[in-house]
Amino acid sequence: MDFSFLGRYWRYYLVGAKNTLIIAILAVAGGVLIGTLLAVGRISRRAPLRAAATAYVEFIRGTPVLVQLFVIYYGLQKAGLAFPEWPALGRLLGVSVPDFLAGALTLAINSAAYVCEIFRAGIQAVDRGQAEAARSLGLRYGDSLRLVVLPQALRNILPALGNEFVVVIKESSIVSIIGIAELMYKADTIRGMTFRPFEPLIVAAAVYFLMTFPLSKLLGKIERRLRSGAY
């Protein structure tokens, strides 16, 4: 194996890793936003809301993210709903902003289904008696959720949410297919330019691992701290 190409191309990996992190952060932020709304629907007392949220979660989890990516990427184009160009951001990323945002949106829509389940599980793990006590004091449903149940659910939710971020960092490699210059795309570029099909991938794998491993460790620490606290 020959890694001498790194001398010339190491910057590619840095730029790719940066873009991977940016798209993962956007995706998880969007995922949390949509996922929170979904979770509220999922635990709602209104059957239609519950059904809609459940359908979303089941559909997204039951279809490949690659298909979702194409559907959204070409669907947006077909509908004439392209994201606007944004030159400043484009220069920072070195990619087409509309494509980049379409990729981030896909990952956010996908991640939302998993985030929703993280929230739902976290909320339902809180003892029923907590909501009952809050309601029996006259607190409205929304207040009892916000002031009593959610703060307790956060202990279960935060570690799982961090884990979702790790998952999205890895899954974001799929957007290389629509030409977004993140880590995987950059590795492919190097493969083409050096005529070395194998070694650049090993380096890409190492860079992914360097991003996810410290994050996992950090999450483990946070989780232990959350569990040990007496509130």
**Contacts by 218-221, CB closer than 8 A, 24 or more apart:** 218/162, 219/159, 219/162, 219/163, 219/166
Kindly tell me which residue out of 43, 82, 139, 211 binds another protein, with binding defined by CB under 8 A: 139
Whichever of 139 and 215 has its CB closer to another protein, that residue is 139
Residues in 140-169 that interact with another protein by CB under 8 A: 140, 143, 147-148, 151-152
We find the least distance from the C-beta atom of residue 188 to another protein, in angstroms, to be: 48
We find the least distance from the C-beta atom of residue 125 to another protein, in angstroms, to be: 13
Whichever of 36 and 152 has its CB closer to another protein, that residue is 152
Note the helical H segments in the chain. 6-42, 47-61, 65-78, 87-93, 97-124, 128-136, 141-143, 150-171, 183-194, 199-228
Determine if 127 is a binding residue for another protein (CB under 8 A): yes
**Is 170 within 8 Å of 208 (Cβ atoms)?**
yes
We find the least distance from the C-beta atom of residue 156 to another protein, in angstroms, to be: 13
Determine if 44 is a binding residue for another protein (CB under 8 A): no
- Count of residues of this chain found to bind another protein when the rule CB under 8 A is applied: 19
Determine if 124 is a binding residue for another protein (CB under 8 A): no
Distance between CA atoms of 112 and 76, rounded to whole angstroms? Answer: 19
**By CB neighbour count within 10 A (0-12 exposed, 13-18 middle, 19+ buried), where does 44 fall?**
middle
| Token reading at 55 | 């359908």
With CB under 8 A as the contact rule, which of the stretches 65-73, 130-138, 162-170, 203-211 interacts with another protein? 130-138
Determine if 129 is a binding residue for another protein (CB under 8 A): yes
Kindly tell me which residue out of 62, 79, 195, 231 binds another protein, with binding defined by CB under 8 A: 231
Whichever of 17 and 153 has its CB closer to another protein, that residue is 153
Q: How far is residue 27 CA from its own chain's centroid? A: 4
Closest CA to 208 of 219, 218, 216, 196: 216
Q: What is the dihedral of CA 202, 19, 59, 162, to 10 degrees?
A: 80
Kindly tell me which residue out of 14, 55, 66, 133 binds another protein, with binding defined by CB under 8 A: 133
Determine if 230 is a binding residue for another protein (CB under 8 A): yes
Whichever of 80 and 138 has its CB closer to another protein, that residue is 138
**Rule CB under 8 A: which residues touch another protein?**
127, 129-130, 132-140, 143, 147-148, 151-152, 230-231
